[in-house]
Structure 1
Amino acid sequence: MPATPTGRTTHDARTGAGAGGPAPCRVVVCRDCCCGSPKVTGVDHAAQTERLRTAVPVRVSDCLDACDHANVVVVQPSAEGRAAGARPVWLGLVNDPDATEDIAAWARAGGPGVAPRPDILDLYAITPPRRRRAF
């Protein structure tokens, strides 16, 4: 992080820049009631998460409320991608190693707004659930 005249460090909230440079592309994996559970058979959920971690930072989340699409993975744009107007890309039914590899490669290449999304990932694209409002 850049130092101020007082020696303190600063953080650029607009770009996400800090000690490690601009904020990278990140991935969120859902791991709660349906995603990441034995309900989705034949998937090594831990291996999937670790494979994604070898490509980019990963955050494990509780339920993302898209249970019909388990396993859900959200690819969040980097600071550069956001500056280009990119939004998070929600992917569902990510239940095979090839899909995980495609996501890892895309995220490592820069993800939304930086690298073109591989056509194969269009098959996994889902609409994120709407947030419920408390009335």
Structure 2
Amino acid sequence: MSSAPRAVTAASERPCAVVVCRGCCCGDPAKHPGADHRGQLERLRAAAAEGGFEVRTSDCLGPCDQANVVVVRPSAEGRRAGGRPTWIGFALDEACTDEVAEWAGAGGPGMAGPPLALELQMIRAPRGARARTGR
């Protein structure tokens, strides 16, 4: 029996991903008029281009009373190290956006600890969250 090298699949090398809710309440200028929703996505995408993580948008992720919601999903390596998707609520200002980008750029869950201020914004994932975030 030969021992051929295992093929590397795209899933086994998946990078950290930031999923930004843009459903019914998140990203809604009428609900959060002081937040720069478009700017948040632009900042995250610019950081992702340099930091090696992905940014995705999603329809409503669920906890609308904690809008804007962002989920930081671990990379494949981070998941193997024990990282799990981390939900962040009230992600409305530039400081939070920068902290999310910094954490994802450092590897995210399982690879790097989150900034301390970001820990205060972590929320519980709603039931069925796995289906909505793609994992």
Q: TM-score range by the shorter chain?
A: 0.7 to 0.9
Deviation of 1:44 (Å): 1.0
Letter in 1 for 2:44: L
Equivalent in the alignment of 2:18: 27
State the SS of the aligned residue for 1:51. Answer: helix
1:36 aligns with 2:27: yes
State the SS of the aligned residue for 1:130. Answer: coil
Give TM-score, length-normalised by structure 1. Answer: 0.81
Give TM-score, length-normalised by structure 2. Answer: 0.81
Q: Map Cα deviations across residues 55-84 of structure 1 (whole Å, 9 max, x no partner).
A: 231111000011011000000000110111
Which of 107, 110, 116 is 2:107 aligned to? Answer: 110
For residues 5-20 of structure 1, the aligned pairs below 5 Å read 12=9, 16-17=11-12
Structure 1: gaps spanning 5 or more residues:
1-9
Letter in 2 for 1:124: Q
Larger CA Rg, structure 1 vs 2: 1
Greater RCO, CA 8 A, separation 6+: 2
Whole-angstrom distance in 2 between the partners of 1:62 and 1:99? 21
Letter in 1 for 2:91: V
Deviation of 1:32 (Å): 1.5
Higher helix share: 2
For residues 47-62 of structure 1, the aligned pairs below 5 Å read 47-54=39-46, 55=48, 56-62=53-59
State the SS of the aligned residue for 1:27. Answer: strand
Count of residue correspondences:
117
1:90 aligns with 2:81: no
Whole-angstrom distance in 1 between the partners of 2:116 and 2:82? 20
- Superposition RMSD in Å: 1.6
Letter in 2 for 1:30: C
State the SS of the aligned residue for 2:72. Answer: strand
Identity value in percent: 56
Which of 17, 37, 41 is 1:45 aligned to? Answer: 37
State the SS of the aligned residue for 2:82. Answer: coil
Whole-angstrom distance in 1 between the partners of 2:99 and 2:128? 28
